[in-house]
């Protein structure tokens, strides 16, 4: 197929290739830890680890208020003192983290009951999110400067240190879930401190500027509803499983989730290469090129769905090979999780047109709607089918998100989806 040859031979694809490779390695490290974790941790231990990660993700939305994304955006803007801008983003981080810490401290016991994570570790989740923001800010600088090697080394360094410390604490010393969380904490703190030192030395001018503060907040704050909506689609299942079935079932579900995540890894990696090429071709505004893009998109839909079905078919073999016996029931959720990630990959292919014309508020409404709908659907499906119901709900909601996004993207940016329909 000529369009495929054009894509993979383009300079844009090659330029993004390094980021893609680093992302795959970074995401693969936790996958390779699974055989160890599912043998040295019980499902309940694994469930606590999963719930802690969820809390960190939720808290991370509010520590820093997503302004690290503005760092990448303003790098090439004229009239902005980039180093001063970076410093003011970090000022926002310090203040927002303090406020979040106080709120979490006041409600830590309630959060602990809801999540099954001990209250002391809930406070530590705030610390983890603080240092993770520093790392993300550092990565944003490298990405803006097209420093793929440095970008990848930070990512893989953190994941690798996390894995090594996990082996030491969990396998060698014999700590349970505490060892896994301690490894995460130390890894993010070490890499976060390194990031802060390098930012301070090279990329920060410590002078407050109210214009830069408001400018970065204007960028970051609108992303919060979109992020929350996305989280509602992805993470509420584990809270509902914990509430209805217990933290042990959360561990089993999360173990299966990480296998199904392979489809998500492939979709994310491809999307990194696809987006710059797609935007460049859309700028040419040629019908023939758009028709080829649509044909390729349909082929992509078929391939990613077949990959998800293939992974689901071999799930029993994968689980028996990789997991400890206490996690064998995770095989039942992998097919549905893989399909969910396939639908999410299909979502990327149609959502990119909305990003292209800067109408991201559409995606915010879609994610909030689907995320809110996910709560009752997941509750009903878990009551009906147990942990498998949560995976089924995941697939259903992401399918709905894809269909709605496809429909609305065509409304705001026409593409020849009917193949033989020439539009004006």
Residues in the chain, overall count: 424
Predicted local distance difference test score (pLDDT) of residue 221: 78
308 pLDDT more than 80: yes
Round to whole Å and give the CA distance between 394 and 224.
21
Report pLDDT digits (tens) over 241-274: 888 888 888 888 888 888 888 898 888 778 766 7
387 pLDDT more than 50: yes
355-384 in b/e form (b: 16+ CB < 10 A) is: bbeeeeebbbebbbbbbebbbebbbebbee
Predicted local distance difference test score (pLDDT) of residue 7: 47
Round to whole Å and give the CA distance between 118 and 52.
9
Residues 74, 75, 81, 85, CA torsion sign: positive
Round to whole Å and give the CA distance between 178 and 48.
9
Q: Which residue has the tokens 């039942």?
A: 332
Of residues 13 and 114, which shows the higher confidence score? 114
Of residues 390 and 140, which shows the higher confidence score? 390
Closest CA to 404 of 381, 370, 371, 375: 370
Mean pLDDT, rounded, for 73-80 = 73
3 pLDDT more than 50: no
Residues 356, 359, 361, 365, CA torsion sign: negative
User: What's the Cα-to-Cα distance from 308 to each of 261, 304, 313, 344, rounded to whole Å?
Assistant: 10, 6, 9, 12
Reported pTM: 0.74
Predicted local distance difference test score (pLDDT) of residue 421: 55
73 pLDDT more than 70: no
Of residues 218 and 189, which shows the higher confidence score? 189
Whether 320 and 328 have beta carbons less than 8 Å apart is answered as yes
User: What's the Cα-to-Cα distance from 415 to each of 8, 297, 352, 353, rounded to whole Å?
Assistant: 22, 11, 12, 9
Round to whole Å and give the CA distance between 411 and 420.
18
DSSP string, 256-300: HHHHHHHHHHHHHHHHHHHHHHHHHHHHH--HHHHHHHHHHHHHH
Of residues 282 and 298, which shows the higher confidence score? 298
Round to whole Å and give the CA distance between 338 and 159.
23
- And the tokens for 290? 């758009």
3-state secondary structure of 76: coil
3-state secondary structure 294-359: HHHHHHHHHHHHHHHHHHHHCHHHHHHHHCCHHHHHHHHHHHHHHHHHHHHHHHHHHHHHHHHCCC
Mean pLDDT, rounded, for 223-250 = 80
Helix 387-412 × helix 236-244 angle, to 10°: 160
235 pLDDT more than 70: yes
Report pLDDT digits (tens) over 15-25: 455 666 776 77
End-to-end CA distance of the chain: 26
Burial label, 167 (beta-carbon count in 10 A; 0-12, 13-18, 19+): middle
Phi-psi region of 285 (alpha: psi -120 to 50; beta: other; left: phi over 0): left
Mean pLDDT over each residue of the chain, to the nearest integer = 84
Q: In whole angstroms, how large is the CA radius of gyration of the chain?
A: 22
DSSP string, 50-74: HHHHHHHHHHHHHSSTTTHHHHHHH
Round to whole Å and give the CA distance between 214 and 328.
51
């Amino acid at each position: 197929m000529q369009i495929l040859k054009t894509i993979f031979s383009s300079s844009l694809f090659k330029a993004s290739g390094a980021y893609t490779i680093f992302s795959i390695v970074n995401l693969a490290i936790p996958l390779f830890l699974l055989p160890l974790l599912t043998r040295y941790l019980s499902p309940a231990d694994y469930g606590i680890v999963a719930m802690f990660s969820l809390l960190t993700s939720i808290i991370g939305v509010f520590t820093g208020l997503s302004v690290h994304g503005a760092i990448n955006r303003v790098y090439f803007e004229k009239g902005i003192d980039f180093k001063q801008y970076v410093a003011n983003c970090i000022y926002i981080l310090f203040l927002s983290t303090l406020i979040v810490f106080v709120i979490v401290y006041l409600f830590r016991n309630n959060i602990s009951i809801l999540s099954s994570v001990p209250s002391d570790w809930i406070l530590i989740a705030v610390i983890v999110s603080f240092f993770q923001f520093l790392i993300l800010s550092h990565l944003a600088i490298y990405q803006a400067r097209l420093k793929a090697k440095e970008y990848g080394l930070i990512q893989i360094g953190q994941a690798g240190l996390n894995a090594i410390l996990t082996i030491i604490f969990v396998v060698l010393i014999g700590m349970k879930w505490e060892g896994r969380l301690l490894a995460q904490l130390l890894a993010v703190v070490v890499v976060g401190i390194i990031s802060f030192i390098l930012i301070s030395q090279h990329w920060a001018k410590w002078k407050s500027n109210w214009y830069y503060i408001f400018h970065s907040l204007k960028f970051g704050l609108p992303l919060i509803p979109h992020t929350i909506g996305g989280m509602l689609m992805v993470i509420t299942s584990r809270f509902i499983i914990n509430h209805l079935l217990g933290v042990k079932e959360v561990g089993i579900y999360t173990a299966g989730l990480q296998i199904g995540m392979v489809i998500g890894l492939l979709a994310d990696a491809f999307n990194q290469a696809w987006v710059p090429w797609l935007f460049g071709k859309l700028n040419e505004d040629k019908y023939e090129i758009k028709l080829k893009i649509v044909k390729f998109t349909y082929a992509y839909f078929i391939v990613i769905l077949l990959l998800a079905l293939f992974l689901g078919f071999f799930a029993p073999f994968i689980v028996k090979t990789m997991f400890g016996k206490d996690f064998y029931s995770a095989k039942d959720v992998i097919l549905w999780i893989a399909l969910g990630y396939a639908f999410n990959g299909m979502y990327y292919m149609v959502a990119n047109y909305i990003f292209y014309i800067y109408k991201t508020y559409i995606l915010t409404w879609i994610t909030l709607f689907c995320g809110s709908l996910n709560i009752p659907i997941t509750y009903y499906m878990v009551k009906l089918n147990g942990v498998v119901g949560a995976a089924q709900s995941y697939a259903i909601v992401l399918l709905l998100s894809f269909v709605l996004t496809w429909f609305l993207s065509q409304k705001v940016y026409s593409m020849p989806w009917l193949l033989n329909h020439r539009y004006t």
